[in-house]
Amino acid sequence: MNQQPPYKQQFYKPVQPVHLPPGGNNYPTQGHDDPTQGTYLPPGGYYPMQQGYTSQYPSHVDFASRSSPPQQHGRLNNLQKNLLMVLSIALVTSVVLALVSYQVFPLASIQATGMNEIRKGTAAVTPSATPSVTPPPVAVLNPSSVLGIDSGPLSNYPGISWTRLSYKTCGGKNYGARLKSTVQLYHSQGGHVLILLCQHPGQHLFDLPQFNDVAQAGADAVACGNEEMKHNKYPTYLSPLDFARFFDLCERTIQAARPGTLVLLGSLDPHVGGVDRLPLLQQVSYLNAVQTAMNTQVRPGGNWSWRAQAMGLIDSWHNGFPSKSVNSLNALFVFWAQQFQVDLNSGGLGRHIWVVEGTGCVSGCGLHTRHQISVAHIMTLITDVQTAMSYKVPFFYFSGKDFFQAGTFWPMGVLDLRGHEKPLVQDLALGTKSLDLSCASGPVLVTEQEQLLAKLYSGCTLPGNWANVLTN
């Protein structure tokens, strides 16, 4: 067996996710020491009966007497004696019944209190009612037409009509009125929007305002969750039960606000296709556990299947470099087509997989020099787009612009840090490398990255020697 390079050895020693048992303390309560405060009730599940029984018993009996004529006093005395006897018997009987019923009434009181607490828990996780105003119809998406970038404004990326916006739980600045106005602006420009809603494990995981906020924005598609299976220093991992609850609440809220909106089942954290088979099988195992949790606890007795959903996928590798044979994305498509039981060449995978983040790599993947990173970057962009389009799978290139994160520079955008154009091979001067593309409108000379991405999305074809032009 060949010795694996150091940067690949890590993939053969994945961390086994710890799936906490259903019903354990693997999800937060919202009432500190009150275990009923975070109770989650699925649709069609338990509904406490209304407490109307108390109205059957008078709260006050008026025994006030009135004066009587003298001739009736003798008869009244006898009546009073008889009444007194009856009342005495009733009093004794009441005492006996009270003693016998001692265990009953306190229990009824506790049950009533419990119902109130359950209602509180239900209110915390129940989507708001469908608006009285009928929402606009959602157009049926053609997967092959979903080709975008992270992230807008779309005016920075002429020729690209889809953008991915990150909600504030993902570290983005988009929420509330700003999110809604941004989506409306992009729609007015003929664009389309995918919103990424990240989960925050902890006491606010099931907070309703985040779901309502995203639902009211009116996006064309929403990804409910991001890298929910991933164990790392950033808190993203959810147990299968928690993720089932999170997705159920997110999906129901989105659909209540805008029926027909496509909702993605989170996103798969990146692994190298064709190499990391064990981690991919672990992802399948996780999804199976989510399915079990959904049908036994979240939607009891249901037949929900993850194979009937669409989910996000992230790929981060130097596809196309150092040769065209390197293609993690293609291998991932082969694997997931098998899992979804679809013919990869039929275009059916696009109904189940959205590449919400397709990108190259900078560190930890065997690239050592600035020029290697620059060449691998453009080779990955082209290889990923060609691969996704050939199988009609939705694709979002990451990223729109270069960026700094945690003190590290990530030159992964099609624009530089200031939003300016970048040459095809980004460590060379603009115009040093160019490609003659064949487009429906005629030949187009391309010298910068955003232009290349937009032209590839529009169906333009590359010259046969494009790889040699970029690598030599």
Pick the closest to residue 290 from 278, 275, 276, 308 (CA basis).
308
**Predicted TM-score of the model (pTM):** 0.73
Which pLDDT score, from 0 to 100, does residue 233 have? Answer: 78
Which pLDDT score, from 0 to 100, does residue 22 have? Answer: 31
φ, ψ of residue 95 in degrees (nearest 5): -60, -45
Which pLDDT score, from 0 to 100, does residue 136 have? Answer: 56
Written as one letter, the residue type at 137 is P
Compute the distance between CA of residue 459 and CA of residue 324 in angstroms, rounded to an integer: 20
Arch. (CATH architecture) of 127-422: Alpha-Beta Barrel (3.20)
Above pLDDT 70, what percent of the chain? 71
For 65, left (φ over 0), alpha (ψ -120 to 50), or beta? beta
Q: What is the mean pLDDT of residues 207-232?
A: 96
Q: What is the mean pLDDT of residues 247-268?
A: 97
Locate the domains of the chain by residue range: 127-422
Reported as a single tens digit per residue, the pLDDT across 357-389 is: 999 998 889 999 999 999 999 999 999 999 999
Reported as a single tens digit per residue, the pLDDT across 192-213 is: 999 999 999 999 999 999 999 9
CA angle 173, 263, 123 (to 5 degrees): 80
Checking if the pLDDT of 218 tops 70, the result is yes
Q: What is the mean pLDDT of residues 339-344?
A: 98
Which pLDDT score, from 0 to 100, does residue 87 have? Answer: 53
Query: Residue 471 corresponds to which tokens in the numbers above?
Result: 């690598």
Reported as a single tens digit per residue, the pLDDT across 401-431 is: 999 988 899 999 999 999 999 999 999 999 9
Which pLDDT score, from 0 to 100, does residue 137 have? Answer: 57
φ, ψ of residue 466 in degrees (nearest 5): -60, -40
Which pLDDT score, from 0 to 100, does residue 63 have? Answer: 28
| Token pair 């009937």: residue | 308
Pick the closest to residue 428 from 400, 409, 451, 447 (CA basis).
447
Checking if the pLDDT of 455 tops 70, the result is yes
Q: What is the mean pLDDT of residues 15-36?
A: 30
For residues 12 and 229, the model is more confident at: 229
Compute the distance between CA of residue 414 and CA of residue 380 in angstroms, rounded to an integer: 12
Which pLDDT score, from 0 to 100, does residue 43 have? Answer: 34
Q: What mean pLDDT is reported for the chain?
A: 79
Does an H or E element contain 119, and which?
A: helix 104-125
Whether the Cβ atoms of residue 266 and residue 223 lie closer than 8 Å to each other: yes
Pick the closest to residue 322 from 386, 371, 271, 273 (CA basis).
371
Which pLDDT score, from 0 to 100, does residue 61 have? Answer: 31
Checking if the pLDDT of 163 tops 90, the result is yes
In this predicted structure, which of 23-37, 159-173, 270-284 has the lowest mean pLDDT?
Answer: 23-37
Tell me the torsion sign for CA atoms 197, 201, 204, 206: positive
Whether the Cβ atoms of residue 428 and residue 374 lie closer than 8 Å to each other: yes
Reported as a single tens digit per residue, the pLDDT across 86-136 is: 555 555 454 444 333 333 333 333 233 333 333 333 334 444 334 444 555
| Token pair 């019903």: residue | 23
Which pLDDT score, from 0 to 100, does residue 274 have? Answer: 95
Checking if the pLDDT of 8 tops 80, the result is no
Reported as a single tens digit per residue, the pLDDT across 136-158 is: 556 678 999 999 999 878 999 99
